[in-house]
Amino acid sequence: MITIRTARADDEAALAGIDQRTWTAVVSPAPAPPPGTPFFDEDARPEDFLVAEHDGAVAGYVRLAAGFGIPAHRHVLVIGGLAVDPDRQRLGIARRLVDAAVAEARRRGARKLTLRVLGHNTAARRVYERCGFVVEGVLRGEFRVDGADVDDVLMACALA
């Protein structure tokens, strides 16, 4: 059984472990955080994350963040991270997390939910598309990853 809930401080070790196991050049152009880096900090608090549990174990997360910190952008929230434990992928957890993020963004009064995903991350792009996200722009060759130019794809879901 899969359930979705708000993260708690005691999820930190499990979420950091998922990050370590899923962080690759397919999902992020940035280097992985060094081991021991806190998962939660002042910019990424437990209440910013929705956690999926599968059969009672933490199985993944999605992070909701504010966009630009100006009044004209308050109606937009951002998916700032999505990860699913590799041992629990292909169970529909990512889709459930994104659907929950959409519902939570609506609950918070957002009218738009955006994200950025690497162009070569086709699995994530398919999940986002199935959840109603569309491509709004592509920054061609925005990153150089493993010797290749990689696009940064901007996607959004209208909530209003």
Q: How far apart are CA 9 and CA 16, in angstroms?
A: 12
Q: How many domains does the chain have?
A: 1
**Residues in the chain, pLDDT under 70:** none
Phi, psi of 26 (to 5 degrees): -75, -30
- What is the predicted pLDDT for the residue at 4? 98
29: left (phi > 0), else alpha (psi -120 to 50), else beta?
alpha
- What is the predicted pLDDT for the residue at 160? 83
**Domain span at residue 150?**
2-158
pLDDT tens digits, 92-133: 999 999 999 999 999 999 999 999 999 999 999 999 999 999
CATH of the domain at 54: 3.40.630.30
- What is the predicted pLDDT for the residue at 76? 97
- What is the predicted pLDDT for the residue at 69? 87
DSSP H helices, 39-160, are: 93-107, 122-130
| pTM of the predicted model as reported, rounded to 2 decimal places | 0.95
- What is the predicted pLDDT for the residue at 15? 97
